[in-house]
Chain A
């Protein structure tokens, strides 16, 4: 069983489009995260949710909107995609908000043309 899953694995789209990435964890964790990894492999946190509530919102453009329908799911919707949004997006989860042992999904490679 996959602990943290993301769909799709690859996403190729045109500038200006709107797209969503879905994430699900079956670990029973309370906290979920979205990270962006750029071409230089820097991992940067974007958002964190704890029990469906937003607790971390880094300086991310408001074109990015996370949504957590329940604590097992954290989706990421991106409006008006730009070239600079091209990256690998990772979802992760941890048992609690203070637990840095995070379990990562396989990543979604987003390419904006």
Chain B
């Protein structure tokens, strides 16, 4: 059974680097791994997407090992405004889109 698993919650302090890992055990061989951020009462917002190795943009980095069964979202120097729920999204090898259950990140001053 394809599952996408993330930690339920994480705490951090302002200025720290935060790493959130997602496990996707039956990921489709040709599909990307995508991460989203969701604030209360808003729709999820795209953060970053990658296929393998490392991808970096202006807000985050994404690390994907060679077997692609997991991925790690890295947020450098978080601020209070990064407090949100973070979701990973991948497709199973049967083509089903599966979101992780979301990781609630609480950034403290």
- A residues within 8 A CB of B43? 4, 90, 92, 104-107
Q: How far is the CA of A45 from the CA of B87 in the complex (A)?
A: 14
- A residues within 8 A CB of B97? 45, 48, 56, 100
Closest beta carbon of chain B to A27's beta carbon, Å: 12
Q: Mark A82-113, 1 if CB is under 8 A from B, else 0.
A: 00000000101000001011111111000000
With CB as the reference atom, state the residue of chain A lying closest to B47. A101
Which size bracket describes the interface of A in this complex?
20 to 34
Q: Does A67 contact B (CB under 8 A)?
A: no
The A/B interface has a contact count, at CB < 8 Å, of 53
Q: Which of A12-20, A36-44, A72-80 contacts B (4 or more CB under 8 A)?
A: A36-44
Which size bracket describes the interface of B in this complex?
20 to 34
- A residues within 8 A CB of B44? 43, 90, 102, 104
Q: How far is the CA of A66 from the CA of B104 in the complex (A)?
A: 31
- A residues within 8 A CB of B32? 100
Q: How far is the CA of A41 from the CA of B101 in the complex (A)?
A: 7
- B residues within 8 A CB of A104? 43-45
Q: Which of B87-109 contact A (CB under 8 A)?
A: 87, 89-91, 96-97, 99, 101-102, 104
A residues bordering B, Cβ < 8 Å?
4, 40-45, 48, 56, 58, 90, 92, 98, 100-107
Q: In the complex, given contacts A43-B99, A100-B49, A102-B36, what are 8 additional A-B residue pairs having Cβ atoms less than 8 angstroms apart?
A: A41-B104, A43-B44, A100-B34, A100-B89, A100-B91, A101-B34, A105-B43, A107-B43
B residues bordering A, Cβ < 8 Å?
31-34, 36, 38, 41-46, 49, 85, 87, 89-91, 96-97, 99, 101-102, 104
Q: List 8 A-B contacts (CB under 8 A).
A: A43-B102, A100-B31, A100-B34, A100-B89, A101-B46, A102-B36, A106-B42, A107-B41
